Structure 1
Amino acid sequence: MHVGTWGLAIIVTVFVSWLMYRYLAPASWKEWTRAGVLQAFIIAFYAEMYGFPLTIYFLTRFFGLDLAWNEGGNLWAQLFGTPTAHIIAMLLGYSLVFLGATLVAEGWRRIHQARRRETLMTDGIYAIVRHPQYTGLFLIVFGEGVVHWPTIVSLIAFPVIVLAYTLLALKEERQMLEQFGDEYRAYRQHIPMFIPRLNKLQQQEF
């Protein structure tokens, strides 16, 4: 289905890269380094997904598995022997992608409101997690690169991306402490970094 469609790979890579730089624009050379890791993941992932499904290639060549190139080389369809596995993985994966994109967009909108007012943003999505944009990014990468269409590169890149942006979040928190002091320190004690607490989800109203 997807094998050899390099034109589609280029289009999707450009579009997803634009979204990344639109909502997660780097502000320093260190942030550009982390963005480079994510950019490399985007290029490699969609090249593998639409151009040459390397996951299936490695499985067949190195492990001696006799897998047919059906369903465009999707790993789940190959392993479970039915296209239904691909459909289920796609629905689950894109549900996570949609949720992640919503978090990124909402976090971006609220943080720009806070910057205009020069205040600390603690309501809305920021009353649930301290870094909703990075939580959203992790959900997008996990949903697309692990759940929907796992490849060799995406499985390796996911923990690298999580580590890179966790370090970036810690750096940003040090800057917030310098700017807001005890106000941010109290906020940090009550609001989790990436994973919301169940009681916070129950209390929050959008």
Structure 2
Amino acid sequence: MHGESAYGLWTLVILNSAIFIFFAFSFTKPQTKTDWRSFGAFSAFVIALFTEMYGFPLTIYFLSGWLAEKYPGIDFLSHENGHLLHTLLGFEGNPHFDPLHIASNILIILGFFLLASAWNVLHKAQQAHSLATTGWYARCRHPQYIAFILIMFGFLLQWPTIPTLVMFPILVVVYVRLAKREERMALEEFGEIYRHYMESTPAWIPKFKINEPETV
């Protein structure tokens, strides 16, 4: 016997999706086609996530036979038991306070902080028609895409679903390709200046010690 279902709450799907998409939009302020592509990919991930979190639990229905056999007596249609990793890894108590959920919250907060910081530098540079080489751009070349990846991975830790698990590696590839495309455009526009920046600044893993160059 199931208790009251925690799904079919489409108002929460719309509300939560809108909040996180609005946060991302306010931090990124997309202007170019590349900006809109990266923002659109992230938005699709968020909508898929909250659709399963509050709307229709596709993953739970797909795994229902295995879950019922492996974990008899557990009502996976309740919201707390919808945190599948909490159950699969044997955690006890409130799933909102398990190590995975705490790590998830930290990654999401860090991701939005990085996104805001990086895009502030990037758009100032775009307005001045110069390179973004200060702030986080002095530590790595693509902090805005790292931020999107951190946020998505954070969500996966607390609520993994089949669609988002499939989407995540695809979106990582999308961001890598967008980054390479941006670099080709920057090389065409800035030439040796950008080539020197590439040689001194890692693409994805931020360096800790930096000597921030002046904005070119």
Confirm or deny: 8 A CA contact 2:42 2:148 kept in the other structure.
no
Match of 1:77 among 78, 81, 86: 86
Higher fraction of helix:
1
2:203 paired residue among 193, 196, 200: 193
TM-score, structure 2 normalization = 0.81
Q: Does residue 150 in structure 1 map to residue 160 in structure 2?
A: yes
8 Å contact kept, 1:8–1:50: yes
User: Which digits, 9 at most, give the CA deviation of each residue in 1:110-151, with x for residues without a partner?
Assistant: 11221233221212111111011100000000001x212111
Q: Which residue of 2 aligns with 1:25?
A: 30
Partner SS, residue 83 of structure 1:
coil
Change (3 A) 1:31 1:133: closer
Of residues 34, 42, 50, the one that matches 2:54 is 50
Task: Give the alignment's Cα RMSD to 1 decimal.
Answer: 2.5
Aligned residues: 200
User: What is the correspondence of 1:1-206 to structure 2 with a 5 Å cutoff?
Assistant: 2-22=6-26, 23=28, 25=30, 27-28=32-33, 32=36, 35-61=39-65, 64-65=69-70, 66=72, 67-69=74-76, 70=78, 71-79=80-88, 80=90, 82-88=92-98, 89-144=100-155, 146-196=156-206, 200-203=207-210
Query: For structure 1, which runs of at least 5 residues remain unmatched after alignment?
Result: none
CA distance in 1, matches of 2:37, 2:131: 27
Greater mean deviation of Cα atoms: 55-64 or 68-77: 55-64
User: Per-residue deviation at 1:92?
Assistant: 0.6
Amino acid at match of 2:149: F
Q: Runs of 4 or more off by more than 6 Å in structure 1?
A: none
TM-score by length of 1: 0.85
Larger Cα-atom Rg? 2
1:37 Cα deviation from its structure 2 partner: 3.6
SS in 1 for 2:208: helix
What's the CA shift for 1:55? 2.8
1:74 corresponds to which letter in structure 2? H
2:9–2:55 Cα contact (<8 Å) kept:
yes
Cα distance in 2 for residues equivalent to 1:31 and 1:186: 24
Structure 2: gaps (5+ residues) = none
Query: 2:205 is aligned with what amino acid?
Result: I
CA contact (8 A) 1:31 1:168 kept: no
Once the two structures are aligned, what percentage of the paired residues are identical? 38
Contact 1:2 1:50 (8 Å CA) reproduced: yes
